[in-house]
A and B are shown apart, each in its own frame.
Chain A
Amino acid sequence: MGKASLLGMVAHRLAILAYVVVALFPLYWLLKVSVTPDRLLYTEGVRMWPSQASLEHYVFVLAHSDFPRFFENSVIVSGSTAFIVTIVASLAGYALSRFQFRGKVWIVILMLLTQMFPLVMLIAPMFKMLAPLGLTNSLTGLVIVYTAFNVPFATFLMQSFFDGIPKDLEEAAMIDGATRFRAFAQIILPLTLPGIAATLGFVFTAAWSELLFALMLISDVDSSTFPVGLLSFVSKFSVDFGQMMAAGVLALIPACLFFLLIQRYLVQGLTAGAVKG
């Protein structure tokens, strides 16, 4: 290896390292504050690690707050939303990718339009619609709203993944004796796993961290999701940072677990060898 290329590699690694540090530092700080006892939080100044660490905030959050409830609600809402959106988006994305039909352009334009409004504009009409149906203060209502807002983008995402899969494959399957749906399910879908994983992950995180609708549509503590719960640490005169950060760290766990589960599908290159090249 030449001197120049060694230097280049070192610079390359340093650049990556710098990026990782910048990206992860807030998370580190979250963790640091969460284990700092209250009495040390304001007395020690800025330190990379408190002189004494404790799990007292975690204990409080898990044992003496409504947080387990909020987590459960969030898991239910985000999981259901991700699941439903991915199914709908897969079917719709496949249709947009493979079929020509009347009004296709208009459907695409309509779906794009829904992405153009600031959500704040829609809160009042949403509330007006959901209230008479008994869907405010309900997780089902939240799932419906999240699904509606995530389907368009997820559909475009899935469409781009289907576009990347050669049409020849399902044609071959249909000639081999499969119906179109079977070809979709047995040939195309397995090849779209990276796309499905990406869509699941994207929708799950979006729903997991959504605050606006969760705040506006739900007032009951029993039906609150975790982002709303986080706000409960902000009181009129103080913010309980330690407990808030502890809850934040805990909230990261399901999201991390989720990505751990799907990460092996996120690698591309599954279709290698299907067609020439």
Chain B
Amino acid sequence: MASIDIAGIRKSYGAIRVLHGIDLAIRDGEFVVLVGPSGCGKSTLLRMVAGLEEITAGEIQIGGIRVNDLQPKDRDIAMVFQSYALYPHMTVAGNMSYSLRLRRAAKNLIAGKVSQAAATLGLENLLERRPRQLSGGQRQRVAMGRAIVRAPKAFLFDEPLSNLDARLREQMRGEIKRLHHALGATSIYVTHDQIEAMTLADRIVAMNAGLVQQVGSPLDLYDRPANLFVAGFIGSPAMNMFRGTYRANAPAVIAADASAIPLGRGYQVEEGAPVTLGIRPEHVELGGSGSIAAPLDLVEPTGFGTILHLRAFGADVKAFTLERHTALVGATVPITLPPDCLHLFDASGERLV
């Protein structure tokens, strides 16, 4: 186990700059999730930690040792690939023991480690199979097994669940979390799925366009998004956004349709400045005092709850309720935006306090 320190990391492919200076300190035993849309540079960063991509500028330390110029094999890390990358000509046991065999570990030690890992992952009966004889979920487990047979300094996960169907993904998510609790290994996990990020992470690193947008605990990012990108990326259905201008007197946002959305308190921003107001769908109150009538556009029952698509304040508004809402499309629904649940962002997208 070890800490990982990333300082001033940049990456360019010729003239194309992918990462613009990433600083990140990962504590020993921490589970950090890098999350962001495709092309934000999260996988590139992970591959640089692994040693599969050259570092253009900056420094990466694993366990206090600079690894910039170390080969992947000398970094003592394990990685789970999105494609699993199992060796097709080796059995499951062969796949899991390959790293130990490369280190010339004793035969009985290898056998012990493999059967221990197989037991942890429920692979005992599959050890003699070849990858092509396994289902997607089993292959995924073998890929995990290959990582846990030795005790590396850190685990790197590159979208390991993206190729699984939804149910299996949910199950494996739980297993990864349990595994992390059991092994306590420093882990970096890359995903574009914000649910995976929320459920797995000790800390989330939200990335966009080669820059870190926010680092914090999952609920930190959810409750106090640092900017519009994080606010829009974390959470599903996504946060509602209203563009408007700030009114300092009886603090409110004047929305696109000239109506005022009361803020309940003042913010540090000039009168008349353009701002964006955000509220999560589950915080939109149906009914309530001071409500306005919003025409209903679309109803999406999820079974778990209902997502209502409404028009209000000159914008589309989504409201999520646990109730089985029976309103018909075309009807109007009274809604309230509780001031406590509002997020305000300035013209550059930064959170206002």
Which A residues contact B (CB, under 8 angstroms)?
Answer: 166, 168-169, 171-179, 182, 187, 190-191, 270-276
Contact = CB atoms under 8 A, between A and B. Distances in A.
Nearest to A274: B88
B99 A166 contact: no
Contact of B85 (A178, A190, A270, A274): A274
B165 to A, nearest CB: 12
Contacts of A179: 71, 73
Given A176-B99, A191-B88, A273 B81 contact: no
B85 A169 contact: yes
B83 A177 contact: no
Contacts of B79: 171-172, 175
Contacts of A190: 89
B52 interface: yes
A276 B135 CA distance: 10
28 contacts: A168-B85, A169-B85, A171-B79, A171-B85, A172-B81, A172-B85, A172-B87, A173-B87, A174-B51, A175-B51, A175-B52, A175-B75, A176-B98, A176-B99, A177-B73, A177-B99, A177-B103, A179-B71, A182-B102, A187-B87, A191-B89, A272-B88, A273-B86, A273-B139, A274-B84, A274-B85, A274-B131, A276-B84
A171 B87 contact: no
Given A177-B102, A178-B102, A276-B163, A271 B52 contact: no
Contacts, number: 85
A275 B95 CA distance: 13
B52 A174 contact: yes
B130 interface: yes
B130 A273 contact: yes
Given A190-B89, A273-B133, A174 B73 contact: yes
B99 to A, nearest CB: 4
A171 B72 contact: yes
B72 A276 contact: no
Contacts of B99: 176-177
B344 interface: no
8 closest cross-chain pairs (CB), A and B: A273-B132, A273-B131, A168-B85, A275-B83, A176-B99, A172-B85, A274-B88, A177-B102
Interface in B62-94: 71-73, 75, 77-79, 81-89
B314 to A, nearest CB: 45
Interface in B30-87: 50-52, 71-73, 75, 77-79, 81-87
Nearest to A176: B99
A272 B131 CA distance: 8
